[in-house]
Amino acid sequence: MKIVVLGLNHKSSPIEIREKLAFDTTQTLRALKELKNRFHEAEFVLLSTCNRVELYCASTISESEEVTAEYLAEFLSDFHNIPIEKFQESLYAYENEDSVRHLLTVASSLDSMVVGEAQIIAQVKESYQLACTAKSAGKILNRLFHCAFATSKKIYTTTSISTGRVSVAGVAVELAMQLFADISSAKVVVIGAGEMGELLVQHLIHVGCKNITVVNRSYERGKDMAERYGIAVEKWDEIENQLIGANIAIASAAVQDYLFRKGPFKEIMNKRWGRTLLIIDIAVPRNFEPSINEMDGVYLYSVDDLSEVVERNRKTRELDIAAGMDIVYKNVTDFMDWVGAMDIGPLIGHMKEQFVRISQNELEQFFVGTRQEASCKETLEIMVNRVVNKLLHCVIKNVNKIAKENGANEAARYVGSIVQHAEQISSELNKKEDEQP
């Protein structure tokens, strides 16, 4: 069994690439079903967030069913109709133990832009649920993702990693506070009433914002959120008027194309009569065309521009990160031991087959010519089988001892080496038999 992850994230690629390779829910389900139809015995989970796109796969190591990182990269290219040369240098790929460590680190927010953020575990769980819906997850990835959930929970409950401002939304508001002298008096427009939009509202209220308006494509959803937090709400077709009167706009709407492009946005800025507009666009794909930042009076920041605030966040959590990684390493070892134990059973069965084959070959070579009709033939066969079983029992006892003292992986390697030698012996015996006249 081989576990592979191929992906890119905020550290390996800019937002210009990530937004082109992002998946929404419908695309995720379609991609998982396509992969499963191509590789029936393999397992797949696809994780797509504002900061990462990752494909996880567990497959057997055979020419027909093994799924390579190269194939997954080509799949991303074909699915999004983007030449692989456009993003190949941004990709990373891990196998087996490294793949497991990566997922546990991701799920625990230790690999997040904002260490300690709680949104990532919800996103990982949602990705796993989509894989279950698409029936693309199986025994290996089921176990792996539940291991990731447990790891995240332990890190959050045994460290202080989640204290303070620990979300992209929180960092966006902190950036707004740095760039706008008196945020309490600012008119803030929040574009999008999803989970990220709600987090933005919570952080804005926490820092004293009194004039907040949410604008959402679904007015009812926006109205529901506005009533819960005591803020204003406007319908989607009022979004331009809201931007004309705003000091700050923070966008997190889930769309596949820009809501605003530079040309039409000039009309909005003309109606503002030279007043400065701060836009923080934390959506992926982005809501505002990047070239809008070239306009006078506009300061446009994307999620990748939050790095300075993020770096301060990381430095305050160095001890928690170290404690979290200790938990990750232990759980990686436990999971790989479980995988190794799965591999031992079939290997032992294969070892038994090889031992029996060797004994049968030796008996067949012995009972030739006049010995074919020997009266002791049946008795000798029983005796040889008994000896083989006793030797197997000794070997299996030793395998169990190695597994207990050094882990299932080491035991699997030990059995694998015996199987390899046994296969060589069988091959040599067969060759000798073929060479006989």
- Are 2-161 and 168-314 in the same CATH fold? no
Amino acid 345: pLDDT = 72
The rounded distance, in Å, linking the Cα atoms of 111 and 92 is: 14
Q: What is the CA radius of gyration of the chain?
A: 30
Amino acid 216: pLDDT = 95
**Architecture field, domain 2-161:** 2-Layer Sandwich (3.30)
Amino acid 435: pLDDT = 56
CATH for 168-314 is 3.40.50.720
Strands 52-59 and 43-48: antiparallel
50 classed as catalytic: yes
The rounded distance, in Å, linking the Cα atoms of 151 and 329 is: 10
Amino acid 178: pLDDT = 81
Amino acid 166: pLDDT = 57
Which regions in the chain score pLDDT beneath 50? none
Residue 435 token pair: 């060479």
Amino acid 63: pLDDT = 53
CB 199 within 8 A of CB 170: yes
- Of 50, 57, 147, 209, catalytic: 50
For residue 360, the one-letter residue type is Q
The rounded distance, in Å, linking the Cα atoms of 49 and 365 is: 64
Which tens digits make up the pLDDT trace of 133-151? 999 999 999 999 999 999 9
What's the gap between Cα 61 and its chain centre?
Answer: 21
Boundaries of every domain in the chain? 2-161, 168-314, 343-425
